[in-house]
Amino acid sequence: MTTRKTILFGFLFIVGLACNTAYKAEENTQAKERVTLNIIAFDDKDHVVGDLTSKDFQVMDEGKPQPVAFFRHDEHQAPVVILFDLLNESLGAQGYSTDQIIRALERAESSDSIYFYLLTKEGNVRALRALPKRKDQVDESSGAWTAQIRPLLEAAMNSVLAGRQHYINPIPTTNRVIAALGEGMAAIPDRKYILWVSHGIEQVYRDNGQLRVDYSPKVTQYARNLENEGITLNSVDLGNSFSVTSTFEEYANVTGGKVYSKDFEKALSQTIAASHSRYIIQYDAPRSDGKLHKIRVTSTRKGVHLQVKQAYVANP
């Protein structure tokens, strides 16, 4: 009898140990963070490449190679929101920028999923073509509305420039407008794109040469919020100031975007092309430590370069 009890207890102990081990293994698996990368591939002529496979990508997290857990080539048409930033642009440069935007949009082959907003000198937002009210779908019924972009934009510019102007701090205002656009796009499924056309904003606000407020942590947080909402922010840098370029680059690095120097037409064509041909790769983060992890993604195919976010914060 004693021997039989001993065998039974031993059996139950082994079963319990096995169940506990399985539970811990499942717990560890669930604790791993799945990192999602949205990738755009370009060839040497800056044309989008749409025939890559998972074997054409190499993913490095903090310098260590990561196996791909999920791969998909997504060709679903994504919305592109243009934000023409008048708040941070000089009056003398507005004519050139406006004409460049008009010419590029008039030549756009497809405009169904393009939306357009102005950020005014008053810090307000005016829509030339607003996102659909139903956030779960993209409006594709308006046809080539960009054929009328010249009278639309010129009328809007005349209207907003005629208004009373007073000084506002452009740094928090611009960031909040970008954040609000992101919130308005968040419920639209799949990837979305913002194309910010601007002379840019500094990350540090100075008054009469005195250091006042460092907004760089806020810029990083706004950028992370966009990435979490599935939004890539590309930008057209209309100026040449290093201090504002760092703001453009922070948004680009965190969201997987790109900074274009004074070339709206190229930025628009590549953003539209990317909006219906992108790769989604997922892998398990090596550590969920609450720290910033640097990412490097390359293609094994010769002549292919990638647009993808450069880092993420691993949730603890």
**Which residues of the chain are in CATH 3.40.50.410 domains?**
80-274
Residue 21: pLDDT band (50, 70, 90) is very low
Cα four-point dihedral sign 186, 37, 220, 246:
negative
Average pLDDT over residues 88-106: 84
At the second CATH level, the architecture of 80-274 is 3-Layer(aba) Sandwich (3.40)
- Compute CA distances 40 → 229, 256, 262, whole Å: 18, 9, 21
Average pLDDT over residues 248-253: 94
- The alpha carbon of 309 is separated from its chain's Cα centroid by a whole number of angstroms, namely 8
Q: Residue 283: what pLDDT? A: 96
Return the amino acid letter for 161.
Answer: L
Q: Is 184 a residue whose pLDDT tops 60? A: yes
CA–CA separation, 23 and 39 (whole Å): 35
Q: Across all residues in the chain, what is the average pLDDT?
A: 84
Q: Can you name the residues that pair with 61 across neighbouring β-strands?
A: 64, 295
- 104-126 pLDDT, tens per residue? 999 887 788 899 999 998 899 99
Q: Residue 211: what pLDDT? A: 65
User: Of 257, 250, 295, 292, whose CA–CA distance to 274 is shortest?
Assistant: 257
Residue 280: count of CB within 10 angstroms of its CB: 15
Q: Is 143 a residue whose pLDDT tops 60? A: no
Tell me how many degrees the CA angle 112-235-190 measures, rounded to the nearest 5.
50
Assigned token pair, 202:
């500094």
Provide the percentage of residues in the chain whose pLDDT is more than 70.
80
Which among 21-30, 90-99, 250-259 has the top mean pLDDT?
A: 250-259
